[in-house]
């Protein structure tokens, strides 16, 4: 179904003021779905892998040069930063959905307005959090019961990391905004730049190589801060140099003042999406508490299995991001038949990629586990047993993420949060807690149980829920803004 353009809307491929030969957004409402999905999700997958590698490389530098106390310090500080990231991720996803729907409706001004409000919100929140975090870093670490041997180092590390929040949040939003208009390659390139800078500056600033001062653990945090600022300014320069349609110029800079109607949508839709990450993190902490009772070998085995599962889940997360961007543009264009086909394609691609990685992991599990534990570790047989029982459940969870991505693209964010909470706490953790007396295998079987329940509820909501009737967010907001005299 083709929608008639509203007055004042521009064609997405020909934004007002764009230069001849300027970069145009990718139209995700046309063309072959599966190929487009793959071409969109693979760069996102690459960016996710690079981000995880960056964290691992930083941990290696800190551990090799500064020892166990410094690793403990960075770990405790990173827990706090992950909570902050969860909030930013939710708001960023909400803004990205608005941008995607606006692009699908050929409403360039709406996309710019959504990005401007998101940037204004992120700037205000991140600066406030950076200031509060600088002064409350000690209290936060004390609340986490940070080991005394690591508390001083963690305090130094966390303070510097808080200063890097503004560029991290703003860079995150710009990357998600680019994906919203169909550009997944640019965020990948800038993530690669981030990794090179962060990993390269770590030993220089930690050890004080050349003219650089010897900063110890603060050097690791400073490397992250510098990389975040370089990437942010690089993204801004790229967007303006290429005249990307979501850039703001002249009178449009007023869009950086958060629009009340847009702000309401970003907050109301963003908070539940951020809480989904918190639910997963909290459940992980509870599960670790149960597993730690089984002894050190079991804990080590689970820890390594969990590390491998991080990479198993990456394809599903990348496919979910691609499905969300594609579905948002097609909802904006009123192409509901393509939305259904995008979802089915997303499920199929997830089965192919996630299923393939799970199969490889099960075939080559011993050498993969030996990389972390050593070939003769008593934890390897336990870890192999965990893998065979639980790893396949992430294929089911990947399908759930695809379904969630589609319904979120039309603004339905509360029910995915409810379903995820029921699946993880109501099914997985309740099953593990209730039947643990039958043996530790119950812990591993709780993963398939939770994934099956979550997928069943997600399928029911996708098939029979009212998410299609939620209303197109971008147009609703545009109507409210017009009614308030701010359009």
Query: When comparing pLDDT for 265 and 53, which is higher?
Result: 265
Instruction: Select from 258, 281, 304 the last residue of a domain.
Output: 258
Residue 12 has pLDDT above 60, yes or no: no
Query: Rounded distance, CA 73 to CA 62, Å?
Result: 10
What confidence score (pLDDT) does residue 479 get? 52
- Give 446's pLDDT tier (boundaries 50, 70, 90): very high
Is 15 part of any domain?
A: no
Residue 8 has pLDDT above 60, yes or no: no
**Residue 246 token pair:** 């979501």
Cβ atoms of residues 366 and 281 within 8 Å: no
Is 2 part of any domain?
A: no
Is 337 part of any domain?
A: yes
Tell whether 164 and 79 lie within a shared domain: yes
Beta carbons within 10 angstroms of residue 37's beta carbon: 21
Domain residues for 250? 45-258
What confidence score (pLDDT) does residue 11 get? 41
Is 6 part of any domain?
A: no
What confidence score (pLDDT) does residue 231 get? 95
**Residue 177 token pair:** 């905004």
What confidence score (pLDDT) does residue 9 get? 41
Tell whether 352 and 212 lie within a shared domain: no
Cβ atoms of residues 169 and 133 within 8 Å: no
Beta carbons within 10 angstroms of residue 35's beta carbon: 10
Instruction: Select from 223, 258, 293 the last residue of a domain.
Output: 258
Tell whether 279 and 195 lie within a shared domain: no
Tell whether 351 and 399 lie within a shared domain: yes
What confidence score (pLDDT) does residue 278 get? 81
Tell whether 319 and 188 lie within a shared domain: no
Is 448 part of any domain?
A: yes
What integer is the mean pLDDT of 329-333?
88
- Give 191's pLDDT tier (boundaries 50, 70, 90): very high
Q: Which residue has the tokens 């990231």?
A: 85
By percentage, how much of the chain surpasses pLDDT 70? 85
Structural domain count of the chain: 2
What integer is the mean pLDDT of 54-65?
71
**Residue 29 token pair:** 């409402």
pTM strictly above 0.85: no
Instruction: Select from 225, 241, 258 the last residue of a domain.
Output: 258
What confidence score (pLDDT) does residue 457 get? 97
What's the whole-number average pLDDT of the chain?
83
What confidence score (pLDDT) does residue 475 get? 56
Tell whether 355 and 212 lie within a shared domain: no
- Give 19's pLDDT tier (boundaries 50, 70, 90): very low
What integer is the mean pLDDT of 103-123?
89
Ranking 78-87, 121-130, 272-281, 289-298 by mean pLDDT, the lowest is: 78-87
Tell whether 56 and 205 lie within a shared domain: yes
Ranking 204-213, 362-371, 443-452, 475-484 by mean pLDDT, the lowest is: 475-484
Query: When comparing pLDDT for 285 and 215, which is higher?
Result: 215
| Cβ contacts of 7 within 8 Å, gap of 6 or more | none
Tell whether 344 and 231 lie within a shared domain: no
Tell whether 268 and 296 lie within a shared domain: yes
Tell whether 218 and 358 lie within a shared domain: no
Query: When comparing pLDDT for 64 and 16, which is higher?
Result: 64
What integer is the mean pLDDT of 8-31?
52
Residue 394 has pLDDT above 90, yes or no: yes
Indicate the burial class of 471 (C-beta count within 10 angstroms; 0-12, 13-18, 19 or more): exposed
- Give 13's pLDDT tier (boundaries 50, 70, 90): very low
Tell whether 293 and 442 lie within a shared domain: yes
Is 19 part of any domain?
A: no
- Give 21's pLDDT tier (boundaries 50, 70, 90): very low
Query: Rounded distance, CA 356 to CA 364, Å?
Result: 12
What confidence score (pLDDT) does residue 23 get? 46
Is 22 part of any domain?
A: no
Tell whether 271 and 224 lie within a shared domain: no
By percentage, how much of the chain surpasses pLDDT 90? 33
What confidence score (pLDDT) does residue 26 get? 66
What integer is the mean pLDDT of 333-345?
92
Is 27 part of any domain?
A: no
């Amino acid at each position: 179904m083709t929608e008639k353009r509203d007055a004042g809307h521009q064609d997405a491929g020909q934004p007002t003021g764009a230069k001849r030969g300027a970069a145009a957004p990718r139209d995700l409402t046309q063309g072959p779905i599966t190929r487009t999905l793959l071409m969109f999700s693979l760069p996102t997958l690459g960016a996710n892998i690079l981000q995880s590698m960056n964290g691992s490389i930083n941990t290696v530098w800190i551990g090799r040069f500064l020892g166990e106390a410094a690793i403990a310090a960075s770990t405790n500080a990173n827990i706090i930063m992950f909570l902050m990231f969860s909030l930013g991720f939710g708001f960023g996803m909400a803004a990205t959905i608005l941008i995607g729907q606006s692009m699908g409706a050929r409403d360039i001004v709406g996309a710019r307005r959504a990005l401007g409000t998101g940037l204004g919100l992120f700037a205000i929140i991140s600066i406030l959090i950076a200031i509060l975090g600088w002064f409350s870093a000690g209290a936060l670490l004390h609340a986490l019961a940070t080991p005394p041997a690591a508390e001083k180092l963690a305090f130094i590390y966390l303070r510097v990391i808080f200063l890097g929040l503004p560029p991290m949040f703003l860079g995150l939003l710009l990357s998600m905004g680019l994906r919203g208009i169909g550009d997944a390659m640019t965020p990948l390139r800038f993530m690669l730049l981030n990794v090179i800078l962060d990993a390269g500056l770590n030993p220089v600033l930690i050890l004080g190589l050349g003219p650089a001062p010897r900063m110890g653990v603060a050097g690791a945090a400073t490397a992250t801060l510098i990389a975040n600022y370089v990437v942010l300014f690089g993204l801004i320069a790229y967007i303006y140099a290429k005249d990307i349609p979501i850039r703001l110029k002249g009178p449009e800079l007023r869009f950086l003042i958060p629009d009340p109607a847009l702000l309401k949508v970003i907050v109301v839709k963003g908070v539940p999406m951020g809480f989904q990450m918190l639910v997963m993190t909290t459940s992980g902490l509870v599960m670790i508490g149960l597993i730690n009772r089984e002894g050190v070998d079991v804990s080590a085995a689970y820890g390594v299995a969990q590390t491998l599962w991080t990479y198993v889940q990456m394809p599903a997360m990348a496919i979910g991001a691609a499905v969300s961007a594609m579905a948002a543009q097609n909802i904006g264009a009123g192409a509901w038949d393509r939305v259904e086909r995008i979802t089915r394609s997303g499920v199929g691609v997830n089965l192919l990629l996630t299923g393939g990685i799970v199969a490889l992991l099960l075939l080559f599990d011993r050498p993969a586990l030996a990389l972390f534990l050593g070939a003769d570790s008593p934890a390897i047989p336990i870890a192999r047993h965990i893998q065979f029982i639980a790893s396949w459940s992430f294929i089911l969870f990947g399908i759930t993420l695809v379904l969630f991505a589609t319904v979120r693209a039309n603004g339905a964010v509360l029910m995915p949060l409810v379903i995820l909470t029921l699946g993880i706490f109501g099914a997985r953790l309740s099953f593990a807690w209730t039947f643990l007396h039958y043996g530790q295998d119950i812990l591993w079987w709780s993963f398939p149980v939770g994934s099956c329940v979550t997928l069943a509820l997600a399928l029911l909501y996708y098939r029979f829920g009212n998410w299609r009737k939620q209303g197109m967010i971008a147009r609703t907001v545009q109507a409210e803004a017009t009614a308030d005299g701010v359009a």
